Each structure stands twice: as C-alpha cells, then as structure tokens.
Amino acid sequence: MLVLDEIQKVPGWSEAVKRLWDEDTRLRRALKVVILGSAPLLVQRGLAESLAGRFEVLQLQHWSFAEMREAFGWSLDTYIFYGGYPGAAPLVGEPSRWARYVLDSLVETTIARDVLLLSRVDKPALLRRLFELGCRYSGQILSYTRMLGQLQDAGNTTTLAHYLDLLAAAGMLEGLQKYAGAAVRQRGSSPKLQVLNTALMTAPMGLALEEARADRELWGQLVESAVGAHLANAAAAGVCTLFYWRDRNREVDFVARAGRTLTAIEVKSGRFREVPPGLVAFAEAHGAARTLLVGGDGIAIGEFLARPVEHWVRG
C-alpha cells in the first residue's frame, strides 16, 4: 500500500498519479494507492480532471462526539461547545487562544486556500459575510432574499446558493433544502443554515463554555446545530440525504432519507414530554416515515451523538 499525504501540494499531482497508475496496471503490480488531501475542492478537481474511473472517494468528516470523547475524554457539553476539531482540543483550557486557533488556522486558511483560490468567487467579501451569517444563524431557515438584506448586498440568489455550495464542499457550512418529495420544489426552497462543526459558531462569540451553557436560547441553538452537524457530516459521506420540513406553522428540524427509509428528527435541548406537533404533522403527511425525538423525554442527546447516524436512519 502506498499512501500519499497532502497530495494537493504537488503541482500536477493528478496527471502524475494517473501516469503511474496506468503503468502499475500494465505491469500488474499488486499495489493499492491511498491519496490524502486537506483541500477537498482541489482534490476533487484533480480526481475529476485526470482520474475518472480510477478512484473511490472515502470522505473523512469532522470528528464525532464518540471520537472526541475517546481521544480526549470530553464530556457532552464540552463537545457541543468546542466542536470536533482534534487539533484545537489541547487549547480548550485557554478559550481565547482556542478561538484564535480556530479562526486563524482553520477558518481563514480554509476560506483563503480552499475556496477563494480554487473557485471562481466574484465577491469574496460577500462569501465571507455569508459564512459569518450562516454561523450566527445556524439552525434557522432564511430565504435568500432575507440573506441579501442581512448582508446588505445587491447580489442575486443564484450567487448565494453557489457560495453555500462552495462552503459545504469545504466542510464548513451548508444550506439544507426543504423536504417536499419533489426535487424541483426542494431546490427552490429557502435553505436552513447548518454549520458542520459547532466550533465555527462559538469561536467568534468570545464566550466561555459556562456562559454559553447559562444562556438557554443559545445553548438550544448549539445543541440543535451539534445534532445537525452529526447528521450533515454523515450525509456528506453518503449515509443519507438530509433535509428539513415545514408546512405552514408545522416544522421538523431534520428529515433523513436513507434508501427507502424516511426519518423525521426533532431536537429539544430541555424537558419536553409531549410529541412535538411537527413530528405528528409529518407522520400524518408521510405515513411510512419514522419519527425520532432527540432530547426532552426522547433519545438522550449524548446517546444520539455517540452512535453513528446509520444506527438511527437505516431501516
């Protein structure tokens, strides 16, 4: 087995790998090649341009609660606040230093290196402001028109949708589409903003874990975003397709489709004894769907995050 790490740093890497791959194939060499790269957009471009039909993509997503707990002994609250960046874990004892590491070493380098340099972005300032807006409003449904108003920009909705796709490909932020049973209607819906790592929300806040925990509204947003990130990272790896659902005043936080299995998931950070009305309405509209309440008197938040998403959404 040959492992090539940080392959994107080699100029013309995809053509070189293709040439060597074809040579090994002709000579019947029993060699397996693993290519690793920390710039997803660049790696994807090289694969598509030169290695069509010669590769399988294995996505390595943000670290899960189970992984951070095993590696660093983190509690559930620590994971919800500090997210799944293992490189930042040793710094959580110094919150301001941890925040600077996330913002400077992770966020800024990803946007500058993996988005702006590798894709056509006519309005880089707009993309940065969209990322900041998405982190601030993670878990909320915002129309593209409202986003443009918040961003004070005269751009168009197509540009915002494209920028969200770029940020999602970089593993940072995505816009979940509304589940409507029809792809056309899904794509035309207002997106639900979802960070792929809760550290992207908390690092810019300048708050300590204890302060965030004491703010019930903020903590509820972080809990829902942590569950959403768990689901969204699994969706990016091909485990399921992820949506939200809303019909008039009824809403479900997440809808996961895995094969023929449809699962509606509602998240509650506090005590909640009754079945949420959104789950009831969704079940009535989609009779074959499964429903899950995460938090409240349903599945414990820690239990949900500790298990792989396949456990919850596969039939």
Q: Distance between CA 16 and CA 14 in Å, rounded?
A: 5
Question: What pLDDT is recorded for position 184?
Answer: 46
The pLDDT value recorded for residue 186 is 54
Can you tell me the distance from the alpha carbon of 184 to that of 170, in angstroms, rounded to the nearest whole number? 25
pLDDT of residue 54: 82
Which segments in the chain show pLDDT lower than 50? 184
**pLDDT confidence of residue 218:** 97
pLDDT of residue 220: 96
pLDDT score recorded for residue 223:
98
**Per-domain residue ranges of the chain:** 2-50, 65-313
Label each residue of the chain as H, E or C.
CEEECCHHHCCCHHHHHHHHHHHHHHCCCCCCEEECCCCHHHHHHHHHHHCCCCCCCCCCCCCCHHHHHHHHCCCHHHHHHHCCCHHHHHHCCCHHHHHHHHHHHHHHHHHHHHHHCCCCCCCHHHHHHHHHHHHHCCCCECCHHHHHHHHCCCCCHHHHHHHHHHHHHCCCEEEEEECCCCHHHHHCCCCEEEECCCHHHHHHHCCCHHHHHHCHHHHHHHHHHHHHHHHHHHHHCCCCEEEEEEECCEEEEEEEEECCEEEEEEEECCCCCCCCHHHHHHHHHCCCCEEEEEECCCECHHHHHHCCHHHHHCC
User: What pLDDT does 180 receive?
Assistant: 87
For the chain, the C-alpha Rg in angstroms (whole number) is: 21
| pLDDT number for residue 9 | 79
The structure tokens listed for 310 are 């396949």
pTM to 2 decimal places: 0.89
Per-residue model confidence (pLDDT) at position 273: 66
Q: What was the pLDDT predicted at 6?
A: 85
